[in-house]
Amino acid sequence: MLMPRAVVLVNTDVGTEEEVMKKLLEFPEVREVHLVYGVYDLVVFIEAPSHDELRNVIVTKIRRLPHIKSTTTMIIIESSRR
């Protein structure tokens, strides 16, 4: 069975995107971080053993990092790949 996963869209203070990316990669639950153009600055893929732990990562780790202005979280309910 797959562990609970989520995509977190992050807005940072201007010019701090790479610094925030490096900090995010220090968390073991963070699987990928992408620097993107558009409405958001970073797209973060996270995975945790339970939904409670997933929530904890988002609320107590990611959202409390310096230079993060806002986040939007999407919990993944089903995936498919080519």
- CA–CA gap between residue 12 and residue 34 (Å, rounded): 13
Neighbouring C-alpha atoms within 13 Å toward the C-beta of 51: 4
Closest CA to 59 of 14, 1, 6, 2: 6
pLDDT tier at 1, thresholds 50, 70, 90: low
Q: How many CB atoms lie within 10 A of CB 30?
A: 19
**pTM across the whole model:** 0.94
State the amino acid at position 28 in one-letter form.
Answer: P
pLDDT tier at 82, thresholds 50, 70, 90: confident
Token digits for 47?
């995975």
Give me the residue spans of the domains in the chain: 1-35+48-67
